[in-house]
Amino acid sequence: MPINIAILDDYQNVALKMADWSRLQSRARITVFNDHISDPGALIERLKPFEVLSVVRERTPLPRSIIEQLPNLKLIASNARRNASVDVAAAKERGIFVCGTGYSSTATVELTWGLIHALLRNLPAEHVSVRSGGWQLSVGDDLYGKTLGIVGLGNIGSRVAKVAQAFGMSVIAWSQNLTREKAEENRGARLVTKEALFRGADIVTVHLVLSERTVGIIGVTELKLMKPTAYLINTSRGPLITESALITALRDRKIAGAGLDVYDIEPLPPDHPFRWIENVITTPHIGYVTKRTYQTFYGHTVENILAWIEGQPIRVMES
């Protein structure tokens, strides 16, 4: 009998176009869901018939409480190399395979700089002005000569640093394990203390993996240290920044603004302050949403499902 595959959270309705799913023809029945379900009970009822779930990053969490109520589930095919919202241990206990795919961080680096440019040059408002018959509204700021503070100088942060050099910016960096030698290897970034970074940076951008020790790593204390002319960028994970503290800092103009692609709750609730606060630019977690990334995600997903059906090795997701 064909296996039942569910593709979850295909917001743009493109998953079937990004890979050759016909390779599973006659072996599987594929159902695509374009909406997102947050209610656990409704989600369980939807997913019960399926043996295979294709999930996109952290869009639909699969904790133990969900996994244990899906009796037919045999394979969780996640995008990227890791997915913190899937309880891998709970899946393994029930004999459920969990696999991942390849991933490139270049798209997130590019969006980070897109948000920086949009903030400093007030691009959304200027665009709306022209479309509505108006003209210039504001005086933008330069990147040249500014100081970029990078929280987390890993794979993404180091690439962001490289671009900053091209704009003639100074780069300072901090993270819990960063050494001076490692910082200097990354295009001349200078290691500073956490306090010095938030005091000295004109733009702070966050590039850390979300974990127990990084939740809320930027809070009231750090935001109070920032210049009133400084900007904060987050294209990593929402809970790295204490949301209530950031909302207050933006409302009270304690910082100049923020560019956000990630949030504590996604999709962002309709009445959330980030949807209307004037000095924040918001994008709907699209840091990785590009054709090339999706082709990698879904192409590898098809390969993983085929390998699993045929009893061949699959790309095991990092725990």
Phi/psi zone of residue 72: left (φ > 0), alpha (ψ -120 to 50 degrees), beta? Answer: alpha
- Name the burial class of residue 318, with classes exposed (0-12), middle (13-18) and buried (19+) by CB atoms within 10 angstroms of its CB: exposed
Cβ atoms of residues 54 and 15 within 8 Å? yes
Name the nearest CA neighbour of 60 among 81, 84, 92, 82.
84
Catalytically annotated residue among 68, 110, 126, 266: 266
Q: Is 285 a catalytic residue?
A: yes
**Torsion sign, CA atoms 58, 64, 66, 72:** positive
Helix boundaries (H) for the chain:
40-47, 64-67, 88-93, 106-120, 123-131, 155-166, 180-185, 194-200, 220-225, 243-251, 291-309
Amino acid at 150: I
- Supply angle C-alpha 301, 303, 307, rounded to 5: 115
Question: Distance between CA atoms of 211 and 228, rounded to whole angstroms?
Answer: 29
Catalytically annotated residue among 57, 207, 285, 300: 285
Name the nearest CA neighbour of 14 among 68, 54, 67.
54
Tokens of 72: 């037919």
Q: Is 318 a catalytic residue?
A: no
Cβ atoms of residues 148 and 158 within 8 Å? no
Q: Is 278 a catalytic residue?
A: no
Q: 316 pairs with which residues across the strands?
A: 99
Separation in Å, CA 145 to CA 68, 198, 202, 273: 55, 17, 10, 32
Cβ atoms of residues 274 and 251 within 8 Å? no
Amino acid at 101: T
Catalytically annotated residue among 237, 243, 300, 303: 237
DSSP 8-state symbol, 206: E
Q: Please identify every residue annotated as catalytic.
A: 237, 266, 285
